[in-house]
Amino acid sequence: MKKHKGKIQMGIVIGIFSTILITCLISVFSQLYTENKEKEEFRQLADIVTEKTTETEITRKPNIIKISGSDVENRSEQPMYYATDYQPHSVSDLLSMNSECFGWISIAGTNINYPVMHTQSNPQKYLNKNFYGEYSYSGTPFFDTRCSADSTNLIIYGHHMNNGTMFADLCNYTDYSYFTEHPTVVLETKDGAFAYSVFSVMKVKSDDDWYRFTAAGTEKSYEKKISYAKEKSIYDTEITPVYGQQILTLSTCYGYNQDNRILVLAVRN
């Protein structure tokens, strides 16, 4: 009798464990399916608004310093010019499809190739909405509501998705070699396409002072902010913005602590 009762209890435990396992697997595969479906939707959007050109558009990124064993001591005198290929997108088409779109952001050789939204009256509207305003687990990159086209520091937020989409590739910038291979961010707006050179990569908390920096104020204030960014950078890029140059900040989650962020800062060329 006791043996029979023990078998029943064991069966119940196995049944409960199996149910939990199956539920977890369904949840994981469902999430993966959703992320990949949303990835495909963004790819299709990119195809729609990508301008057909006969030649690849090129933006040039100055002031990256060549570092090798033979020229380390003289590297400040030997700038190396990198070129980054990017495929232009029709911002006018994007605006006609959704007036809340600000433009398009891309980094050659990465998964970062998305529209950027801007909703001043609803700051986090696109945190969980796709370009068309429908619910989306991945969301869509969006500007800080305090920013405008002429802000000193343009702050863009994007999710860190497990399948490597959205702003997940920003975490690769913790590796210096990744920075040298992907030194330029391109932001396309109705005013044109602009290249920004990465000059700092910071690991911060979600309440870091940098998030409060959108307007320069004085030259002294600007230089103080840049000095802060350079000091906190996890490596030296040998690039220092000067007063009057616009900054572009890309922000996403980093690691397992929900308050950890990684910031990739770039200066407009």
Q: How many CB atoms lie within 10 A of CB 117?
A: 24
Does some domain include residue 21?
Answer: no
How many structural domains is the chain composed of? 1
Q: What domain range is 262 assigned to?
A: 49-268
Which of these, 157, 160, 166, lies nearest to 41 by C-alpha position? 166
Does some domain include residue 53?
Answer: yes
Q: Which residue has better confidence, 8 or 154?
A: 154
Does some domain include residue 132?
Answer: yes
Does some domain include residue 3?
Answer: no
Does some domain include residue 32?
Answer: no
Which of these, 250, 4, 13, lies nearest to 144 by C-alpha position? 250
> In this predicted model, what pLDDT tens digit does every residue of 166-195 receive, in sequence order?
999 999 999 999 999 999 999 999 999 999
Which CATH number characterizes residue 114's domain?
A: 2.40.260.10
Residue 112 region, left (φ>0) first, then alpha (ψ -120 to 50), else beta?
beta
Q: State what percent of residues in the chain have pLDDT above 70.
A: 75
Does some domain include residue 71?
Answer: yes
> In this predicted model, what pLDDT tens digit does every residue of 41-68 receive, in sequence order?
889 998 898 876 544 444 443 333 222 2
Does some domain include residue 19?
Answer: no
Q: Give the predicted TM-score (pTM) of the model.
A: 0.80
> In this predicted model, what pLDDT tens digit does every residue of 150-165 receive, in sequence order?
999 999 999 999 899 9
Does some domain include residue 163?
Answer: yes
